[in-house]
Chain A
Amino acid sequence: SYVLTQPPSVSVAPGQTARITCGGNNIGSKSVHWYQQKPGQAPVLVVYDDSDRPSGIPERFSGSNSGNTATLTISRVEAGDEADYYCQVWDSSSDHHVFGTGTKVTVL
C-alpha cells in the first residue's frame, strides 16, 4: 500500500517560515492535499491539488509537489498556526485515500 511519511514535529519562531514535508514514492505524479487540525477540532483543508488554497485560507499557506516530496510552507508563522498538519492523496492503484503520518507544528 502507498505510504506517506511526514516528520513528527517542526518548531518555528513567530514570523519565520515553517516547511512540512510529505514523502511518497513518485508523489509528484499525484494531487496532494493538506489539512490543519487543532486540538479537539475537526481537520480543515488548507491546500488542495498541490498548491491551491480554499477560500478563507491565508496566502501565508502555500504548497509544492515534485519528485518524491510534497511540501506545505507556512510563511510569517503566527501563534494560531500551532496545530497538527496532515498530507493526503488518492492512490488510484489501491483505490484508497491515504493520509500522511502527521506533523505537529510548535510555535516557539
Chain B
Amino acid sequence: QVQLVQSGAEVKKPGASVKVSCKASGYTFTSYDINWVRQATGQGLEWMGWMNPNSGNTGYAQKFQGRVTMTRNTSISTAYMELSSLRSEDTAVYYCARGFMVRGVLGGMDVWGQGTTVTVSS
C-alpha cells in the first residue's frame, strides 16, 4: 500500500540543525511532489515547502527561506527536510505529505507520514 514512513523523534539544542527523513513506498517516488508541514502542540497546520523528487526543484514558504533545505535520494525513495538555527518555537510535529495536481496546478496532499516530533530545548 502507498505509505510514507518518517524517522524517529529528535531532541535538539537551540542553534542546532535537524534532518528528518521520509521514505516512500507503494508508488513511483519521482511521480509526486513531497510537501513538509509542521504542527506545534495545540496549533494548526503550517506548510513549510515542497520538493519535486524527479527534478529536485523546491519551493519554500517565505517564513522558512534560508533555514530549510529539502532534498531527496531517489535510489532509496527517500525525501529529507533539514531545518537549521533551531529555536524553541520550532518544537513541533513535522509531517511529510505526498502532493497531487489539480488541472495541472499544485493541489493538495493525499498521503501523509506518521509525523516526527522535534523538540528544541536547552
Contacts and interface: CB of A to CB of B under 8 A. Distances in A.
Nearest to B50: A97
Question: Which of B35, B102, B103 has the most C-beta atoms of chain A within 10 angstroms of its own C-beta?
Answer: B102
Interface string B31-73: 0000101000000111100100000000101100000000000
Q: Chain A interface residue count: which class?
A: 20 to 34
A37 B107 CA distance: 19
Contacts of B61: 96
Contacts, number: 67
A98 B47 contact: yes
B44 A45 contact: no
Q: Chain B interface residue count: which class?
A: 20 to 34
A92 B107 CA distance: 10
Nearest to A33: B108
A88 to B, nearest CB: 6
A102 B105 contact: no
Interface string B90-119: 000001010010110111111011110000
B44 A31 contact: no
B47 A96 contact: yes
Interface of A: 1, 31, 33, 35, 37, 42-45, 48-49, 54, 86, 88, 90, 92, 94-102
Interface of B: 35, 37, 44-47, 50, 59, 61-62, 95, 97, 100, 102-103, 105-110, 112-115
Given A42-B112, A100-B44, 7 more contacts: A31-B105, A35-B109, A45-B109, A48-B100, A96-B59, A97-B50, A102-B45
